[in-house]
Amino acid sequence: MSKNLRINSSKYIDQTHRISFIFNGKKYYGYKGDTLASALLANNIHLVGRSFKYHRPRGIMTAGSEEPNAIVQLHKNTSRTEPNVRATEVEIYEGLEASSQNCWPSVNFDIGGINNLFSPFLPAGFYYKTFMWPAGFWEKYEYFIRKSAGLGKSPTEPDPDIYEHKYIHCDVLVIGAGISGIMAAKTSAKNGLKTLLVDEKPYLGGSTIYQNSEYFKINNQTSGSWLEKEINEIKKLKNLDIKTRTSVSAYHGYNFLLARESLTDHFPIEIRKNKTRQRLLKIRAKKVITATGSIERPLIFDNNDRPGILISSAIKKFADLFGVACGEKNILFTNNDSAYETAISLIQKGINVEAIIDNRENVDSKLIYEVEKSNIKIFKGFTVVDTYGYKRINKISIMQLSKDGQKVVGSKKNLSCDCLGISGGWTPSVHLFTQSGGKLKFRDEDLVFIPNEYPSDQLSIGACNGDFFLDEILTNVPKSLQKFLNIKNTDYENIEFISSINKSKRNIWLLPSDKVFGKTKPFIDYQNDSTAKDIKLALREGFKSIEHVKRYTTTGMGTDQGKLGNMHALGIISETAGAKMGELGTTTFRPPYTPLTFGTIVGRNVGEYFDIFRKTPIHDWHIDNKAEFENVGQWKRAWYYPKDNENMHQAIQRESKAARESAGILDASTLGKIDIQGTDASEFLNRVYTNAWSKLAIGKCRYGLMLNEDGMVYDDGVTTRLNENHYIMTTTTGGAANVLGKLEDYLQTEWPELDVYLTSVTDHFATVSVCGPNSKKIVSEVIPDLNLTDENFPHMSFKDAKIGKINCRVMRISFTGEHSYEINIQANYGKSVWEKCMDAGKRFNITPYGTETMHLLRAEKGFIIVGQDTDATMTPIDLQMDWIVSKKKYDFIGKRSLYRSDTIKEDRKQLVGLLTENPNEVLEEGAQIIADINKSPIEMLGHVTSSYYSPNLNKSIALGVVRGGKNMMGQKLIIPMEKKNINVTVADPVFLDKENKRLNA
Amino acid sequence: MFIINCPFCGKRDQSEFKAGGEAHIIRPKQPTELSDDEWAEYLFMRKNIKGVQFERWNHVHGCRKWFNIVRDTSNDEIKTVYKMGEDPPKL
């Protein structure tokens, strides 16, 4: 295992910079520039992981983001651990620690490997079929199935890294920096367009950059060295921004794209501190040029998944770019000319190529001739029928293909090898194009799906558009760019090139074997262990849609989304079902193209920024006085103020008693406030509230109930007439924004003739509410100039006043049922007014109370809370609030709905009071209400909406909605709980001071 | 994420706007004179077209103005934008 397969220096690898890393607990060395995959291969390690279902040993298959097998866990058991990372994309750094996944106890000896022996019993849909029976047993199976599912382990500690989001606007976005992308970026930037070029790899130039063969030349240089010069030129262009290690993960409508830029993933952990790890780029581009290239297809034959079997172009990349040989006895297996490019590269570097198996018969080309010159045996018209070697391939069997390619003939030959390169032609990477809504067409000549209809201003060029070969790229790309960018000419008009490849391909989706089909394992989706057999089984069982076959067999559903094998799945479905591939279509490609970390998705919105909150101008006082807070909409509201080890219940009982017996103070600044002005303001209020407003005198306040057009209660609050044409409306805390939106909607769309202007002033005022029998004394001290006599300032009225030099508005209104004042003042004076009230109230034991006490006090009075006692199915009549619905008004929002056949039903759920038989028993909010416990099934009549222990009444009180409750006064009902049934009596929802004596006191 | 050309502010990102359902449904002037069925027609019945649809949108994080757009729901292409009160364009 300790062999060194580094064959020569490559300019992409810095052999003066040795790096150590840990793989499965053992230390290895690589060089700067290596990926984890190339470093492992240089150490002659192929076995990297175990497959998902059968736990078969699997090795590195590719050299890019399409990798299905070599996925590893980084930095296990640390806060930076990351599962399912492709070894082919990880750049090594000092201290990198990686380990295999989905194996126990180790990748070399994995107990789950026993599943491979049971594989005849684990067909597609095995879990669906088996664990259905007996019914109800799923809960027992689930634990074990969940345990065996999943690949890597997710981190359990908070992510220590920093992530951020960034918006980018550009004229042209070029995705992919291969030869086509470089040509596009240069052309675009040179023509004055602000251009962004991104590529997922750390270097530019794609697969052309390491192309140094005499058979592919541009202007008399190898295509690699020609492209290198182009890259050096574009780096100087001012209009061009280049981002490497940047993977576009999603392409949405209107050319909105998301990309992940990796900034520190290739650095040692110690120097990542305080640096941004990854950036989510939100790109809005006027035009998009997709040059995402293509992925080489595997070939589908028995046991095509052993470690040591790689995609042929990956072997070439490992040799050319990383200077690593994947094996010492290499065999290539192909149906096209691409494998010969690999062979030539290997031969040039002195790496042994044992043989080439070519599906094609009587085929010839310059590349084949070159390989034949090196005395390498080429088996034309042959196929591989089986492979051997458990943890590393050591032998293959080959046989001759029949003329029609449907079966194998002649005798079997065995060839020994330690690496097999497979090449099944090329698949354009159309993922992003289809994500954007693009429609594909099927090209019958070489069996590929290529872009057809563009849904936005975009263009696909090069291999992702089906132009795989150098001659096609150099002929077609400049022309398409010229047209797409609307420019006169490109730098590539009179370019000369040599491209010596033979484009013929002998495509056989599922290669024949000498064995019975059922006895073979031709893998199509390597990561999810789906074989051709599974797909045929799904079709036999009646699945027709490819989307269904995909889900049933899990083909293409791994972290790699089946980038390698999806086309073969489609091919086999089309052959078996006798449908044309073009008509069959593809499965849907969904973002992200490669997996994204959660950190990148959330960016800076973590911790205290996860959900931003609003605080009142008095917030700091609540903090200083140890308030517990409650979230109401985006607001943080003081919930209660525990004193000396009080629990919540004790604090609320104390606060509630103090408010009724002497004085309480509440921060009501969060209530929505809408300033309403205009000559039609009164008429407007008439239309939006259920009650009448025209006769409200200046300086008076009125409670209003707002409905939706369907007649259901939407919001409530007190509105004050400040002047002839000037009102201030208050709304519920949570409803403020929506109420404003709704009112604007009616004003702008239904009643544009009304002269009314709405302004939200919620944040402009702080509201301090002082209540209780001593509230008058306290307020008179804070605002000595204000005449607080009942004659001058009765309940439901308003006065302009001054505290010092500062104007304020004082309303005598009450949500607690106590004598009460609300002081509204410019927000920045809120805290000082609050403190003045606290000082003035000291001798009255003024007690700050929070939302919970407020809720208790209003429940004693039977005041509703919209959203707690109502749920968008309650009309004012259901709430027993008929008094607030004007009979005289011709129309208001929701009026017509109040006498629809459904809303006039007698047995609707109606709001009632509930008293428990045992006055100390407090009901649970949300508990069901029934009448007859013996009825089967038990009939649910309603539920408890509010429930408290009232310290002022010394008993438990509750509000609830009960079907037909209005006519059940005094009737006994039952609240069935887990351990007992609680008896209750239906009561008036107003429990305290029905005559409003306290309000007017 | 489409871009909407607000008739008052110009081109802005979709995230600044809020959709407000089907356009050109006029609130009856005399609701009390409608039968239950007629009222229900206004209240509940909405088209849900795959294709070209007339919609109301509100520039809620901008000028707060309501306006109409004509959008193809199958590909989000916005054909045109026009102010409240203006006649729907002939397509």
DSSP state of A923: P
Put simply, the answer to whether B75 touches A900 (Cβ < 8 Å) is: no
Q: Which amino acid is located at A959 in the chain?
A: L
| Domain A305-423+509-584 CATH class label | alpha beta
Alpha-carbon separation of residue A264 from A242, A279, A597, A649 (angstroms) = 17, 10, 14, 51
Residues 6+ apart with CB under 8 A from A334: A299, A312, A340, A356, A357, A358, A359, A421, A422, A423, A424
- Asked whether the beta carbons of B87 and B68 are under 8 A apart, the reply is no
**pLDDT (tens digit per residue) in A465-479:** 999 999 999 999 999
Residues of B in contact with A745 (CB under 8 A): 20, 58, 66
CB atoms within 10 A of CB A454: 17
Distance of alpha carbon A920 from alpha carbon A893, whole angstroms: 42
In chain A, which residues have pLDDT < 50?
Answer: 1
Distance of alpha carbon A553 from alpha carbon A530, whole angstroms: 6
Q: Which amino acid is located at A505 in the chain?
A: K
Residues of A in contact with B54 (CB under 8 A): none
- Please check whether residue A889 touches B, CB under 8 A: no
The radius of gyration of chain B from alpha carbons, rounded to an integer in Å, stands at 15
Any bridge partners for residue A672, and if so which?
A731
Q: Please say whether the dihedral angle defined by the alpha carbons of residues A955, A959, A960 and A965, taken in this order, is positive or negative.
A: positive
Please give the order of strands across the beta sheet that includes A82-86. A26-32, A14-23, A97-100, A71-74, A82-86
Distance of alpha carbon A879 from alpha carbon A712, whole angstroms: 10
- Asked whether the beta carbons of B7 and B68 are under 8 A apart, the reply is no
**Domain covering A14-117, topology:** Ubiquitin-like (UB roll) (3.10.20)
Q: What single string gives the DSSP state of each residue in A293-351? A: -EEE-----TTTTSTTEEEHHHHHHHHHTT-B-S-SSEEEEESSTHHHHHHHHHHHTT-
Tokens of A365: 């080309």
**Crossing angle of helices A532-540 and A546-553, rounded to 10°:** 120
Alpha helices (runs of H) in A27-137, residue ranges in sequence order = 36-42, 114-117, 126-130
Which chain A residue has its CA at the smallest distance from B2's CA?
Answer: A254
Put simply, the answer to whether B75 touches A744 (Cβ < 8 Å) is: no
Put simply, the answer to whether A750 touches B27 (Cβ < 8 Å) is: yes
Domain boundaries, chain A: 14-117, 162-294+428-499, 305-423+509-584, 667-846, 905-1000
Phi, psi of A518, rounded to the nearest 5 degrees: -65, -20
- Asked whether the beta carbons of A500 and A216 are under 8 A apart, the reply is yes
Tokens of A921: 């028993």
Tokens of A336: 């096209």
3-state secondary structure of A833: helix
Alpha-carbon separation of residue A679 from A64, A730, A747 (angstroms) = 70, 20, 13
Query: Given this model, what pLDDT does residue A593 score?
Result: 92
- Domain over B3-83 is classified CATH 3.30.2270.10: yes
3-state secondary structure of A660: helix
Put simply, the answer to whether B75 touches A741 (Cβ < 8 Å) is: no
Cα first-last separation, chain A: 94
Q: Please say whether the dihedral angle defined by the alpha carbons of residues A135, A141, A143 and A146, taken in this order, is positive or negative.
A: negative
Residues of A in contact with B55 (CB under 8 A): none
Task: Give the minimum alpha-carbon distance from B36 to chain A in angstroms, rounded to a whole number.
Answer: 6
Which chain A residue has its CA at the smallest distance from B59's CA?
Answer: A741
Put simply, the answer to whether A744 touches B31 (Cβ < 8 Å) is: no
Which chain B residue has its CA at the smallest distance from A454's CA?
Answer: B75
Task: Give the minimum alpha-carbon distance from A601 to chain B in angstroms, rounded to a whole number.
Answer: 16
Put simply, the answer to whether A749 touches B84 (Cβ < 8 Å) is: yes
- Asked whether the beta carbons of A915 and A981 are under 8 A apart, the reply is no
- Asked whether the beta carbons of A798 and A812 are under 8 A apart, the reply is yes
Q: What is the ipTM of this complex?
A: 0.97
Phi, psi of A331, rounded to the nearest 5 degrees: -125, 140
Domain boundaries, chain B: 3-83
Residues of A in contact with B31 (CB under 8 A): 891, 895-896
Distance of alpha carbon A83 from alpha carbon A73, whole angstroms: 4
Among candidate residues A401, A362, A379, the one with its CA nearest the CA of residue A502: A362
Using CB atoms, which residue from B40, B64, B75 is nearest to A744? B64
For the domain with range A667-846, which CATH number is right: 3.40.50.1100, 3.30.1360.120, 3.90.1150.10, 3.50.50.60?
3.30.1360.120
CB atoms within 10 A of CB A566: 24
**pLDDT (tens digit per residue) in B37-87:** 999 999 999 999 999 999 999 999 999 999 999 999 998 999 999 999 999
* Angle at A439 (CA atoms; ends A252, A537), nearest 5 degrees: 105
A/B interface, count of CB pairs below 8 Å: 53
Q: Which amino acid is located at A746 in the chain?
A: Y
Cis peptide leading into A134, omega within 30 of 0?
A: yes
Distance of alpha carbon A334 from alpha carbon A402, whole angstroms: 16
Alpha helices (runs of H) in A710-813, residue ranges in sequence order = 736-745, 775-782
Distance of alpha carbon A556 from alpha carbon A880, whole angstroms: 59
Asked if A162-294+428-499 and A905-1000 have one fold, the answer is: no
CA A1000 to chain CA mean position, Å = 55
- Domain over A905-1000 is classified CATH 2.40.30.110: yes
Task: Give the minimum alpha-carbon distance from B52 to chain A in angstroms, rounded to a whole number.
Answer: 16
Put simply, the answer to whether B84 touches A748 (Cβ < 8 Å) is: yes
- Asked whether the beta carbons of A939 and A932 are under 8 A apart, the reply is yes
Task: Give the minimum alpha-carbon distance from B19 to chain A in angstroms, rounded to a whole number.
Answer: 12
* Angle at A636 (CA atoms; ends A635, A637), nearest 5 degrees: 105
Distance of alpha carbon A663 from alpha carbon A777, whole angstroms: 10
Task: Give the minimum alpha-carbon distance from B10 to chain A in angstroms, rounded to a whole number.
Answer: 16
- Asked whether the beta carbons of A248 and A593 are under 8 A apart, the reply is yes
Any bridge partners for residue A110, and if so which?
A105
Query: Given this model, what pLDDT does residue B62 score?
Result: 94
Residues of B in contact with A709 (CB under 8 A): 27, 43
- Which residues 743-762 of A are in CB contact (within 8 Å) with B? 744-745, 748-750, 752
- Which residues 271-290 of A are in CB contact (within 8 Å) with B? 284
Query: Given this model, what pLDDT does residue A64 score?
Result: 95
For residue B81, the surrounding DSSP H or E stretch is: strand B77-83
**Domain covering A162-294+428-499, topology:** FAD/NAD(P)-binding domain (3.50.50)
- Asked whether the beta carbons of A516 and A552 are under 8 A apart, the reply is no
